Amino acid sequence: MKRTAIRLADGRELIYFDERDDAVRDQPDRRELPSLPPASQLRYDPLTEEWVAVAVHRQTRTFLPPPDECPLDPSVGDRLTEIPAPDYDVVVFENRFPSLSGHVVDAPGEVTPFTPLRPGVGRCEVVCFTSDHNASFASLSPTRVRTVLDALADRTVALGGLPGVEQVFCFENRGVEIGVTLHHPHGQIYAYPFVTPRTRSMLAAARRYAERTLGGNLYADVLAAERAAGERVVASNAHWTAYVPAAARWPFEVHVAPHRPVPDIPALDDAERDAFAPLYLDVLRRFDALFDMPMPYIAAWHQAPVRIDRDLGHLHLQLFSIRRAKDKLKYLAGSESGMGVFINDIAPERAAEMLRSA
């Protein structure tokens, strides 16, 4: 894989990840762009002990443009986009409308004595999986998936090395039902200046389990139990297992986990990276086959924090959809949104059976 980094017209970094070593990436960004927005504001909620980002500049971000105005397509002729090259394999670039960034203007302060605030220091990047606007992740080749995985590993290391970054989150949102604002197949990477609430909760459970079992790895033992039971396993190979969690929150939710406990994507070896693609592509295609239509989903990589509790983490990909039937969606209503208590309409065992049969 060849890696080439350039700067866009407004100073943002863009990196080409090419599958050919002879790829030439010397096309300049010929656009005139406005100055970068200031970093968002982080406000602390003392009632939940969580940080909330207030990023008012994101109100102006591009929203579902027509196909001939997609900013993630290659630049061709006078049609200039975020990617200056006329074609590409995988591209990663700094988000033009970031929730977190290094462009700090405001100093720390407080809203009230209970609500301190600080700049939203970090970084948000966009990951374009292919130059084909009409493709999807499920339509990628295993070779391309490996390139994407290598790019995510590269960015996890790079972003984890930035000052103040505590956690790196790689994810993909797919489908207007989920809330995507661009149809082009792409994902995102967030570099947070704190450990996220979901990860803190999982780490706390893993720590209690390790203390109770004198060093046991909670996720590894849960994975082993699911593999032994087999009832909720959707697919597996020598290095990975895809299964529906016994306490799945979403109608269709699958964890894709490596058999070897590793903290993050960079820790995967070559054999594990190669084995991921065919299994994950199989699961994605089963999602689309469930109702014979593109399935809206979120694919979220759970990685260990950058600096703490890395021994407690176990890398895995959480894939889930809000579609519960061909003509029905699951909304986060009162119990889920108000109290955080999920109510699943489909038994995990039934969901696994449906996916195996799809």
pLDDT in tens, 177-220: 999 999 999 999 999 999 999 999 999 999 999 999 999 999 99
Q: What's the CA angle centered on 313, arms 309 and 315, to 5 degrees?
A: 145
Please indicate whether residue 186 is annotated as part of the active site.
yes
pTM of the model: 0.97
- 224: how many CB neighbours lie within 10 A of its CB? 13
Domain chopping of the chain, boundaries = 2-194, 198-357
Q: How far, CA to CA in Å, does 11 sit from each of 31, 41, 187, 305, 348?
A: 12, 22, 21, 28, 47
Residues 135-144: pLDDT tens digits? 999 999 999 9
Is 50 strand, coil or helix?
strand
Residues 4-48: pLDDT tens digits? 999 999 999 999 999 999 999 999 999 999 999 999 999 999 999
Q: Looking at the domain 2-194, which fold is it?
A: HIT family, subunit A (3.30.428)
pLDDT score, position 10: 97
Is 28 strand, coil or helix?
coil
Single out the catalytic residue among 57, 133, 184, 186.
186
- The CATH superfamily label for domain 198-357 reads HIT-like (3.30.428.10)
Cα–Cα distance measured from residue 18 to residue 223, given in angstroms and rounded to the nearest whole number? 34
Q: Minimal CA–CA distance to 84: which of 31, 23, 19? A: 31
Cα–Cα distance measured from residue 55 to residue 37, given in angstroms and rounded to the nearest whole number? 10
pLDDT score, position 161: 97
